[in-house]
């Protein structure tokens, strides 16, 4: 008999059918009521066992975590909390779960504990909800770009280029630590390594993305990227997924429009398709915030915050304007910022970004035209301002609670200016000749940005630790499972 998914049953009114359901026991009450979950929904199906006609030995095996197959009639439920239930006529234990040993009991577990059993935490309602939202967001990203005619590119994970400049890298190698090939001068002979050169894990697909954009017009990547940085924070991962669109013939304004449209599209998609999950996560967040002092709680609940992002235009201001606002802000005047804003040129910290978004504008903010000195070599150089200060056509989108969620720029398409900047920043121009070819042959204005996928999931699910929105987080000293 064909199995039916619980998600398809919970909203049916087609009673009286004989149904087979397979899933895992969440709870078993009164020797009679099994709450069964098959992963298709965050909600359970209630299956009612006729315990008078069921073998005692079987009943004892209906424990939390056990896998079972139940067949019976679907009937309208008279109990509270569900519309339908299954009157069991046949029950089979597929796999036992020893209640003395099973780590997940029907009670609240801390997120810290669940992180240690990341291979089992998927079986909780919280993580079912998180990963359903994560799925919906990933699908929405693909659908958004597909509908616009963008080409999905798989840029390389292993890279021989170390000039991306976005952070520390992991080496990829097949060289045996106990038998390192050396050149005559004692340096490592990477010619003996798998790729015949020193290779690393990519920190960004942008440079390769630019090559594709200068042929296909509009492309995006969605793949893993890596940082070998020793950051043990709630916002950093050593391995994370990033979305990087790159568009020929786009200037910085087109770029901002696209990023804002993308963020709104995927948030709306999650609201439209994950209503139950987000409602559950809203409740979870409210519970979590009850533990916090009043002053640290959010002004808005999760759903209101998401709606709020959809309803407001993102505020677009220049870095120079932001510095003015921050300089004269209360926390700066009262020296409450850890890093006081003193003068133009300072790099903004998370506390400043959050002040702008959460206190000053109370909506997402796009900061543009940063000082050239604190930004990457490939960003387009603006004309110096009236004080002769050099800025680049960068754009960062700041979100409440998260800080920077998108970082992008119009790219420097002028060969001479780009080469000069690379020289100044000690970037090996020779090695990057392939990248410069886009500027040598048919260069054109173009732009792009990077969206950290886990930061997006963190924002939409209202979770507070990035390790809770990726299946098996990789962080310093942690590569379990």
Whether the CB-CB separation of 70 and 25 falls below 8 Å is answered with: no
Of the listed pieces 9-17, 19-27, 295-303, 345-353, which binds a second copy according to CB under 8 A?
Answer: 19-27
Of residues 332 and 410, the one with the C-beta less far from a second copy: 410
Binding flags for a second copy, 22-51, as an x/- string (CB under 8 A)? xxxx------------xxx-----------
Of residues 128 and 382, the one with the C-beta less far from a second copy: 128
Residues 245-264 that bind a second copy (CB under 8 A): 248-249
Name the 3-class secondary structure at 298: coil
Residue 440 binding a second copy, by CB under 8 A:
yes
Question: Which residues pair with residue 32 across a beta bridge?
Answer: none
Binding flags for a second copy, 343-362, as an x/- string (CB under 8 A)? --------------------
**What do you get for the CA distance between the two ends of the chain, in Å?**
35
Member of 29, 60, 83, 146 binding a second copy (CB under 8 A): 146
Quick one: tokens of 184? 């005559």
Residue 374 binding a second copy, by CB under 8 A:
no
Of the listed pieces 141-149, 280-288, 329-337, 359-367, which binds a second copy according to CB under 8 A?
Answer: 141-149
Binding flags for a second copy, 158-177, as an x/- string (CB under 8 A)? xxxx------x-xxxxxx-x
Q: In what order do the strands lie in the sheet with 365-371?
A: 151-153, 218-226, 239-248, 446-452, 403-410, 391-399, 365-371, 315-318
Of residues 15 and 434, the one with the C-beta less far from a second copy: 434
Query: What's the closest the beta carbon of residue 464 comes to a second copy, in angstroms?
Result: 20
Dist CA 104 CA 118 (whole Å): 11
Binding flags for a second copy, 91-130, as an x/- string (CB under 8 A)? ---xxxxx--xx----------------xx-xx---xx--
Quick one: tokens of 120? 């089992």
HEC profile for 406-427? EEEEEECCCHHHHHHHHHHCCC
Residue 65 binding a second copy, by CB under 8 A:
yes
Distances (CA, A) of 397 to 4, 119, 255, 296, 360: 44, 34, 11, 23, 15
Of residues 214 and 406, the one with the C-beta less far from a second copy: 214
Name the 3-class secondary structure at 404: strand
Of residues 382 and 438, the one with the C-beta less far from a second copy: 438
Of the listed pieces 144-152, 337-345, 364-372, 404-412, which binds a second copy according to CB under 8 A?
Answer: 144-152
Dist CA 356 CA 460 (whole Å): 20
Of residues 100 and 383, the one with the C-beta less far from a second copy: 100
Alpha-carbon dihedral sign for residues 146, 148, 149, 151: negative
Distances (CA, A) of 78 to 83, 175, 214, 350: 8, 67, 63, 52
Tell me the pairing of strands 151-153 and 218-226: parallel
Query: What's the closest the beta carbon of residue 208 comes to a second copy, in angstroms?
Result: 6
Member of 284, 439, 455, 467 binding a second copy (CB under 8 A): 439
Task: State the residue for tokens 């970082």.
Answer: 407
Binding flags for a second copy, 180-219, as an x/- string (CB under 8 A)? x-------x-----xxxx-x-x------x--xx-xxxxx-
Of residues 2 and 290, the one with the C-beta less far from a second copy: 2
Whether the CB-CB separation of 208 and 156 falls below 8 Å is answered with: yes
Question: Which residues pair with residue 392 across a beta bridge?
Answer: 370, 381
Closest by alpha carbon to 285, among 305, 256, 268? 305
Of residues 53 and 187, the one with the C-beta less far from a second copy: 187
Of the listed pieces 78-86, 156-164, 277-285, 421-429, which binds a second copy according to CB under 8 A?
Answer: 156-164
Residues 214-243 that bind a second copy (CB under 8 A): 214-218, 223-224, 226, 228, 230, 238-239, 241
């Amino acid at each position: 008999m064909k199995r039916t998914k619980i998600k398809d049953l919970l909203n049916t009114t087609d009673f009286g059918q004989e149904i087979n359901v397979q899933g895992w026991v969440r709870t078993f009450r009164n020797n009679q009521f099994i709450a069964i979950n098959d992963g298709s929904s965050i909600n359970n199906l209630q299956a009612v066992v006729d315990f008078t006609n069921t073998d005692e030995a079987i009943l004892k095996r209906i424990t939390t975590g056990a896998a079972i197959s139940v067949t019976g009639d679907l009937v309208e439920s008279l109990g509270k909390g569900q519309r339908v239930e299954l009157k069991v006529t046949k029950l089979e234990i597929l796999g036992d779960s020893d209640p003395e040993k099973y780590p997940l009991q029907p009670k609240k577990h801390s997120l810290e504990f669940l992180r240690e059993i990341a291979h089992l935490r998927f079986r909780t309602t919280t993580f079912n909800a998180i990963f359903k939202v994560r799925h919906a967001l990933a699908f929405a990203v693909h659908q958004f770009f597909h509908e616009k005619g963008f080409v999905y590119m798989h840029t390389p994970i292993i890279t021989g280029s170390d000039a991306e400049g976005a952070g520390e890298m992991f080496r990829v190698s097949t060289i045996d630590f106990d038998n390192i090939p050396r050149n005559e001068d004692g340096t490592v002979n990477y010619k003996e390594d798998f790729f015949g050169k020193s290779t690393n894990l990519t920190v960004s697909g942008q440079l390769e993305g630019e090559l594709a954009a200068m042929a296909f017009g509009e492309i995006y990547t969605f793949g893993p990227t890596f940082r070998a940085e020793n950051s043990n924070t709630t916002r950093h991962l050593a391995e994370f997924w990033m979305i990087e669109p790159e568009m020929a013939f786009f200037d910085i304004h087109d770029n901002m429009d696209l990023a804002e449209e993308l963020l709104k599209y995927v948030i709306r998609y999650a609201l439209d398709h994950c209503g139950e999950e987000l409602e559950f996560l809203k409740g979870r967040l409210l519970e979590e915030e009850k533990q916090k002092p009043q002053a640290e709680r959010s002004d808005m609940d999760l759903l209101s915050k998401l709606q709020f992002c959809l309803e407001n235009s993102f505020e677009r201001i220049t870095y120079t304007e932001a510095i003015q606002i921050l300089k004269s802000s209360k926390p700066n005047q009262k020296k409450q910022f850890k890093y006081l804003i003193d003068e133009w040129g300072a790099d903004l910290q998370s506390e400043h970004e959050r002040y702008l978004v959460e206190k000053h504008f109370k909506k997402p903010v796009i900061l543009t035209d940063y000082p050239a000195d604190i930004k990457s070599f490939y960003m387009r150089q603006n004309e110096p301002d009236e004080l002769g200060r050099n800025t680049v056509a960068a754009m960062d989108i700041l979100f409440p609670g998260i800080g920077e969620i998108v970082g992008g720029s119009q790219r420097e398409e002028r060969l001479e200016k780009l080469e000069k900047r690379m020289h100044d920043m000690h970037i090996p121009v020779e090695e990057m000749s392939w990248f410069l070819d886009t500027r040598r042959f048919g260069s054109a204005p173009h732009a792009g940005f990077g969206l950290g996928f886990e930061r997006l999931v963190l924002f939409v699910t209202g979770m507070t630790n990035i390790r809770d929105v990726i299946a098996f987080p990789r962080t310093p000293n942690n590569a379990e499972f």
